[in-house]
Chains A and B, each alone.
Chain A
Amino acid sequence: MSEFKPTNPVIRWIEHRLPIFSFIDHAVGSGYPTPRNLNYWWNYGSLAGIALVILIITGIVLAMQYTPHADYAFDSVERIMRDVNYGWLLRYIHMNGASFFFIVVYIHLFRGLYYGSYKEPRELLWMIGVTLLLLMMATAFTGYVLPWGQLSYWAARVITNMFTAFPFGETIVTWLWGGYTVGNPTLNRFYAFHYLLPFVIVGVVFMHIWALHRFGSSNPVGIEADGPQDKIPFHPYYTVKDLFGLGVYLTLFAALVFFAPNMLGETINYVEADPLVTPAHIVPEWYFLPYYAILRSVTFDIWFLSAKLIGVILMFGSTLILFLVPWLDRSPVRSARFRPWYKWFFWIWVFDVAVLTWVGANLPVPPYLYIGQVASVWYFFHFLVILPLLSIFEPTKPLPSSIGEPVLKGGGASAAGAASKPMEKA
C-alpha cells in the first residue's frame, strides 16, 4: 500500500492543514488494504450506504412538499403523486428504497452470520451494526405513519399500544402520543423523528466503518491475513467490484420502481386514516413480518406475565438477541465453510425466518398460528441452544494456512515472490 502523496499543489496545501484526502484514501481508497478473496456477499455494506444516501436525498425533497398535519398529510402525499413535478418518481424511489435498504441490510447481516464476521476482534463492529438495524426500524416505522393512510394510522396505534404491556404503560403511551390516542401531535413528532434518525444513522455508520477499519474486513475463509501478500488495495479492486454490484442493484431497483412500485405495499394505505374503523387485516411492511409473527404467536399467559407482555418482550428480544451472538457462538472457526454442521443450521435458520415472514402476513388462526409458534421457538432455540452446543461438539474442518492457499493451490503462503507483487494474482 503506497503512502498517500498528492502532487496537486492545491490538494497538498489543504492536506497539510486538514488531512482529509489521506483520510478518504485510507477509508475507501488505495490506502485501505483489503483481503484479496472477498466474494460478492461483501458488496452489501457499500450497497447499504448507497441505499441510505438515496433515501436521504429523496427524503429531503419530499419533505419540501409534505404537510405534517393530520388533516392535510394524506392530501399532500396525493398531491406529491399527482401534481408535483416527478413527485410520483421521488415518492416511489423513497418508498421502495426503504424496502431495498432492508433487503440489502438483511443480506449483509446474514453474510455476517454465515461467515462468522462477528467474532473476536469484531464484536463491537457487529453490535454497532445491530444498533444500526434498530435505528433503521425506528426510522422506517415513523416514516410509514407519515402518509396517514389506514395502515399508517393503525400500525402506529398497534405498535405504540405495545408499551401498555409494561408498568406505567398508559402514562408512557399518552406521552408518546401527545394526546389520548394517535393524532396530530403524534404525526408531528413522528415526522420530526423521521427527519432526525437518518442523520443519527449516518453518524453510527461512521462508527461502524471506524470499527471495521480497526482490523479490516473479514473474509470468506475467516482467517486473518498473514501479511501484505494477502491484501489488495480497496481502490481500484473493490471500488470496481462494488460498482458492478451497484449496477445490478440499480437495475433491479429501477425495475421495481418503474414496473411494480406498489408490489411491496398494501392497497388499503391509499385510504385516508379513519380512527373509528379498524381495517379487517392489519399487516406491517414486509420487513417487519417475522417480528409481527413472533408477537402474535404468544397466546397464553405464563405465571404473572400476560401473553401481551411476553409477546412484546419476545418480539424485541428477537432483534436484541443478535447483540449476544458473538458470545453465544464460541466456536474458534469463523467461516461456515469449515463448519459442516453450522452450515446446515444456518440455512435452517434462514428458512425459519422465511416461514415467520409468511406467517406474519396471514391471520393468527390455525394452521398459521401453530406454524408461527413452532417457528418462533426455533428462532430462539437456534441462538440460545444450537449455537452454544455447536461451539462444543462440532467437528470443524482444517483451515487453510493462508488466505491465498485455496486460490493458489498450495502456493502463495507468505512466499517472498507473492509478497513483492501482491496484486498480480488477485
Chain B
Amino acid sequence: MTAKARRTDGRRKRSAKTNILITGVTTSIGRNLVNHLLNDPRVGVIFGVARSDKPYYFMDLPPNKFVYRSSDILKYRELKNLFLSKTFRNAKINTVIHLAFQNRPIPGEDTHRLNVEGTRDLLGKCIETPGITKFIFKSSDVVYKLLPHNPTMLDENADLNFDPNADQWIKDRVDADMICRAFMDNRKVNIVILRMSNIIGRNIDGQLNAYFDSKPLLKTAGFNPMVNLLHMKDVIQAITLALMKDVQGIYNIAGLDTAPITTFAQLNGSTVLSLPEQLLAPVNWLQRKLGLTHYYYSVDKERQKYTALLDISKARRELGYRPLGRIEF
C-alpha cells in the first residue's frame, strides 16, 4: 500500500469514528455518558457543551478525546458560533446528543425556552450543518397521556398528553418531543427520540427522585400505581445503542424495577402520608416552601393515580436494548 493510500485509509478510519456533540454535558447523565464513551473505541472526539465554565471533573480528561465549550444554546449567536467554531469543525462532529433540558418543573420563561426553543434551534442547526447525520434526543415518559383506562404497557404510539390543562412543563416536554418528531422526515439527519421512564440515582435532577427525597412523601389516597425505575447504567446503554445503531425513530426505554410506588417508598425508608387528592397541591406547596421537597405535585397529578409502564419491545428489537441495572435503595 502506498503512503498516499495509507493516509486516505487512515482518514477514512478516523472519520468512520463517531464524533459527538453533547449538550447539557454537565448533567449527571452527560457526565456519566462522557466517562462511558471515552472508553469506547468506536468514539472519536466528544465535544461537551454546557452553560457553566468547565467543571473540575472534566479537567483531567484527555484533551485529544474530550473538548469542553461553555455556550448557551438558547442564544442564537452563541449557537451559531458554536457550530462555526474551528474546534467544532476540526472535531468533525457527526452526532449530536441533546441532554440540555430542565428536568425539574422550575417555573419560569427560561425553562420553557430551554426545553422547547433550545431543542428547536439546535435541531434546526444540526439539519443545516453538513456532516451531522444523527440527532439523539432524551425525552421522557411524561409526554404520554395518563388515563385510568390506558393499557398498563404503553408503546411508542400511545396518546401524547395534549391536555390544555396540563402543567406547562409537561406541555414543553411534549412540544420538544413533537418538534423532533416533525423533523424526522428530513433526509439528512437521523433523529432518535428516547422516551425514558423515571431515572433514579444520585444527583439526578428528576421528578421521581425529588419525590422519594420528600419528607414526608405524599401520596394520593386510594391509589397506588405501578412505576418503573430506570438505572443510570441503562440510560447510558440506551444512548450508546442509539448512537451506534443505524436507526431512526422513537424508542421507549425502561428499567428492570417495576412495583407500586409505595413499595419503592418503603424500600427507600420514606414516611408515606396518604391524603385526599384535593389536599395534595396545597400541602405540597407548603412542603416546598419549608424546603422539605423539590417535588412538584401539579406535574404528577395523574401519575400519582394511574399506571403507565413503558413497553420496550421496540427498543429490544431494533436497538438490542436489555435493561441491566437494579436500583439500590
Q: Do A and B come from one complex?
A: no
Residues in A lying within 8 Å of B, measured CB to CB: none
Interface residues of B (CB under 8 A from A): none
